[in-house]
């Protein structure tokens, strides 16, 4: 099974387009199978990434933090001690695959 990382963000007003553009990259992470930046509200987003394994996520963390540092100034604090991101990750226990129609 794959592993996934999910990160919630709240973008400062007026920074949405710049934030989206900061994610238009070709990530060079070993074991990264793909992902999406999802707009969940006016200023809120969620990133979902699919990985070969949880170990690959852990190995990529320094590079992911470096990327975050490039747009951290665009983000609002989420409160309750979370900082500017609300990340979670783990191994999939059930996966869904598209059916062939």
pLDDT of residue 26: 85
pLDDT of residue 18: 97
- For the cut 90, the answer to whether the pLDDT of residue 74 exceeds it is yes
| Stretch 55-74: mean pLDDT | 95
pLDDT of residue 39: 98
- For the cut 90, the answer to whether the pLDDT of residue 30 exceeds it is yes
Q: Are 75 and 10 in contact (CB under 8 A)?
A: yes
Partners of 90 in the beta sheet?
Answer: 4
DSSP 11: B
Prediction pTM value? 0.90
């Amino acid at each position: 099974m794959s592993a996934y990382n999910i990160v919630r963000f709240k973008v400062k007003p007026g920074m949405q387009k710049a934030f989206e553009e900061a994610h238009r990259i070709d990530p060079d992470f070993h074991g990264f199978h793909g992902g999406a930046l999802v707009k969940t509200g006016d200023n809120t987003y969620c990133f979902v990434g699919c990985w070969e394994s949880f170990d690959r996520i852990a190995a990529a963390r320094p590079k992911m933090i470096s990327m975050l540092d490039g747009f951290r100034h665009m983000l609002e604090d989420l409160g309750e001690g979370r900082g500017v991101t609300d990340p979670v990750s783990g191994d999939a226990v059930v996966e869904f695959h598209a059916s062939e129609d």
